[in-house]
Chains A and B, each alone.
Chain A
Amino acid sequence: GAVVSQHPSWVICKSGTSVKIECRSLDFQATTMFWYRQFPKQSLMLMATSNEGSKATYEQGVEKDKFLINHASLTLSTLTVTSAHPEDSSFYICSATTGLSNSPLHFGNGTRLTVT
């Protein structure tokens, strides 16, 4: 079945540094990728929708200059958390789909970000 690989699975960084998270679709072309943030015992919060070759669409309240998203190819999207602060510590999850009607949405295994 379709697989989405997310890397790294866990990262600890110092406050003020930037962290890049990669999301790869391994066996299908992901026209659309989504980035979510999830706090403990809460549901997924959509941060942005990324279509290959175009700028990401950010949800209200998500700072696009802080959470940089690049979707340069049909198999790779990256989320860069710039100038990270402790409040950015969270579980970040990507998902990918071909964008076709009735096409399943596949998730990566998430990245646990801890900012110290």
Chain B
Amino acid sequence: GESVGLHLPTLSVQEGDNSIINCAYSNSASDYFIWYKQESGKGPQFIIDIRSNMDKRQGQRVTVLLNKTVKHLSLQIAATQPGDSAVYFCAEFSQSGGSYIPTFGRGTSLIVHP
């Protein structure tokens, strides 16, 4: 469940554009995935989840796509707004020693320009 403290990549978009944030996960046995949004000075907030028996799930303005073949997860945000500016993390969940353990991606900093 360890994630490495690396500086975050950044995605800059204009307000109203669609944003796509990508995440490559590592464990082919992971069967549950979550996207989180973290605003400055706050803890991560749950956005949307997807189980491994699905390849797409839609929420309000957000869509998560899962490609298990290449172990890739993406988050699409439609009509991006300044309030969407935050760091976005993906998490993969897998069984480990009887526990269900999350592993986090590096995170992507989304900057929305008005």
Residues on A close to B: CB < 8 A? 1, 4, 6, 32, 34, 38-39, 41-46, 49, 51, 59-60, 91, 93, 95, 97, 99-110, 112
Contact = CB atoms under 8 A, between A and B. Distances in A.
17 contacts: A4-B43, A41-B7, A43-B6, A44-B44, A44-B104, A45-B2, A46-B104, A51-B99, A60-B2, A91-B41, A95-B102, A97-B100, A103-B100, A104-B46, A105-B102, A109-B42, A110-B42
A105 B1 CA distance: 13
A6 B46 CA distance: 16
A43 B89 CA distance: 8
Nearest to B106: A43
Interface in B78-103: 89, 91, 93, 95, 99-102
Given A43-B6, A45-B2, A46-B1, 6 more contacts: A44-B44, A44-B104, A49-B1, A101-B31, A102-B49, A105-B102
A93 B1 contact: no
How many chain B residues sit at the interface, stated as a range, is: 20 to 34
Contacts, number: 87
Nearest to B45: A107
A6 to B, nearest CB: 7
A64 to B, nearest CB: 15
B3 interface: yes
Q: Which 8 A-B pairs have the closest CB atoms?
A: A107-B43, A42-B5, A109-B43, A43-B107, A110-B43, A107-B44, A45-B5, A102-B32
A43 B4 contact: yes
Nearest to A92: B43
Contacts of A45: 2-5
B101 to A, nearest CB: 7
A36 B104 CA distance: 11
B4 A104 contact: no
A41 B109 CA distance: 8
B46 A106 contact: yes
B51 interface: yes
Contact of A43 (B3, B93, B100): B3
Interface in B1-28: 1-8
B3 A46 contact: yes
